Amino acid sequence: MTMYSVGMKKMGPYYMAGQKMNNTIIEYINGMEVVKVFNKDADSYERFRKDVSDYRDYTLAWYKAAWPWMAIYSSLLPCTIILTLPVGAWFVLSGWSTLPNLILVLCLSLSIGMPLLKSLGFLPTMPQLNYKISALEQVLDAPELQQTEDAFHGKDDTITYDHVSFAYQTTQPGPDGKPVVIEDEVLHDISFTAKAGQKTALVGESGSGKSTLAKLLIHYYDPQKGSISIGGQKLCDMSLEALNSRISYVAQDQYLFNTSLLENIRLGRLNATDEEVVEAAKKAQCMEFLEKLPQGIHSMAGDAGKMLSGGQHQRISLARAILKDAPIVVLDEATAYADPENEEKMEAAIAELVKGKTLVVIAHKLPAIMNADQICVMDHGKLVATGKHQELIQSCPEYQKLWKAAQDSAEWKVHTAKEGK
């Protein structure tokens, strides 16, 4: 019982240290190229060494707490005759037992020690099993996404956020060593309306909650408080299939499967013909690089799309959205990886995608959203202002700061010093 209680207290930190060590090892290996280029071998290896050492220390601390008890029962159990011979002899001399019974018990005790020792060998695994079972129960007990089997029956494509709050959940070891869930609220009482057929932009510093708002709209999560509706129908009152048919979501990092680029684009609408897929690729300005590939649009994307650059990834994801042709389009930094030469092509693809659609766009390049019908300014998970560009420039300090930063970065240039200066 002592070993079990000590094990439960040390189990959480032990697993956290192991997870951190594994992540560091993977990062150390994957980032080796960057480490070498920037001559950060010493710093990177020091972090690697520290996390491995921390894991070793947690492991040894757990073992040291258990080793004394393991040594005691490992020594005594194989030698059960130490107890049975004197006590049994006393029982016989006192008339409480007989000599044949003593001999029988001595024979049994000689063979029972090792099975007992082997059974106790499973004792150190009990805290591990208990910890893992607790973690699994937390996952299995997590509430499912709220949805029904109903189709979409909203009156239009107007999107309404009504007092929405949301917190991400992380698991940490509690005082008793068992995993506990910690909530970190990232959205606080958000309310606004994105009207059908209009362009609504979400702006703010990194980490202000813009992408979380977009993920809530595609029902990736349920908000802890408040609700989101489309055309007056709440997301939780329709099926995921009905919702997905209404929304095209283009993120800055879209996953490509290791199949042909044709099939990757066809994910937008699985029953699309090859001709429709090619037409969507043309509208997304993909043909320029597709035609240079050995097998054209039938070329393989590679593991996680490694055969394409970041900008090409995004154009493929735009082609998916164009093929899907949903009435609501959500763009989350859709031109984040576009270089100056291809940014114009990306903008042309986006213009083709959003024709006549309800558009929600997240962007750090503020000049790209100046003409939005509504701009929502986020700051540390709160909606601090809404309005058009000219209104916010005059009345919103947070937007003024973002606009000044955008202007300064646009004017930033590298100047080379002339000889003699």
User: For residue 66, what are the contacts with CB-CB under 8 A and spacing of at least 6?
Assistant: 3, 6, 7, 124
Report how far apart, in Å, the C-alpha atoms of 88 and of each of 73, 81, 412 are. Answer: 21, 10, 93
Tell me what the mean pLDDT of segment 227-244 comes to: 90
Instruction: Assign 78 to helix, strand or coil.
Output: helix
Residues 251, 332: contact at Cβ < 8 Å? yes
User: For residue 322, what are the contacts with CB-CB under 8 A and spacing of at least 6?
Assistant: 268, 280, 283, 284, 349, 352, 353
Q: What is the pLDDT of residue 251?
A: 80
Q: What is the pLDDT of residue 63?
A: 78
Instruction: Assign 176 to helix, strand or coil.
Output: coil
For 289-299, the pLDDT digits (tens) are 888 888 888 88
Q: What is the pLDDT of residue 38?
A: 66
Q: Choose between 286 and 162: higher pLDDT.
A: 162
Q: What is the pLDDT of residue 159?
A: 93
User: Residue 373 carries which DSSP code?
Assistant: S
Q: Is the per-residue pLDDT at 81 higher than 70?
A: yes
Tell me what the mean pLDDT of segment 275-283 comes to: 88
141, 330, 161, 144: which is closest to 235 by C-alpha? Answer: 161
User: Residue 41 carries which DSSP code?
Assistant: H
Q: Domain limits of the chain?
A: 2-128, 159-411
Gap between the Cα atoms of 225 and 218, Å rounded: 16
Instruction: Assign 267 to helix, strand or coil.
Output: coil
Share of the chain above pLDDT 70, in %: 86
Q: Tell which CATH classification among 1.10.10.10, 3.20.20.120, 3.40.50.10490, 3.40.50.300 matches the domain 159-411.
A: 3.40.50.300
Mean confidence (pLDDT) of the chain: 81
Gap between the Cα atoms of 161 and 213, Å rounded: 9
Q: What is the pLDDT of residue 313?
A: 80
Residue 9 binned pLDDT confidence (cut-offs 50, 70, 90): confident
* Torsion sign over Cα 338, 343, 348, 351: positive
* Placement of tokens 């080796």 in the chain: 32
Q: Which of 29-38, 231-240, 409-418 has the lowest mean pLDDT?
A: 409-418
Q: Is the per-residue pLDDT at 323 higher than 80?
A: yes
Residue 368 binned pLDDT confidence (cut-offs 50, 70, 90): confident
Report how far apart, in Å, the C-alpha atoms of 236 and of each of 147, 155, 219, 229 are. Answer: 4, 16, 8, 8
User: For residue 116, what are the contacts with CB-CB under 8 A and spacing of at least 6?
Assistant: 77
User: Residue 154 carries which DSSP code?
Assistant: -
Tell me what the mean pLDDT of segment 35-48 comes to: 72
Tokens of 178: 């068992």
Partners of 201 in beta bridges: 361, 375
Gap between the Cα atoms of 63 and 365, Å rounded: 54
Q: Which of 244-253, 273-282, 342-351 has the lowest mean pLDDT?
A: 342-351
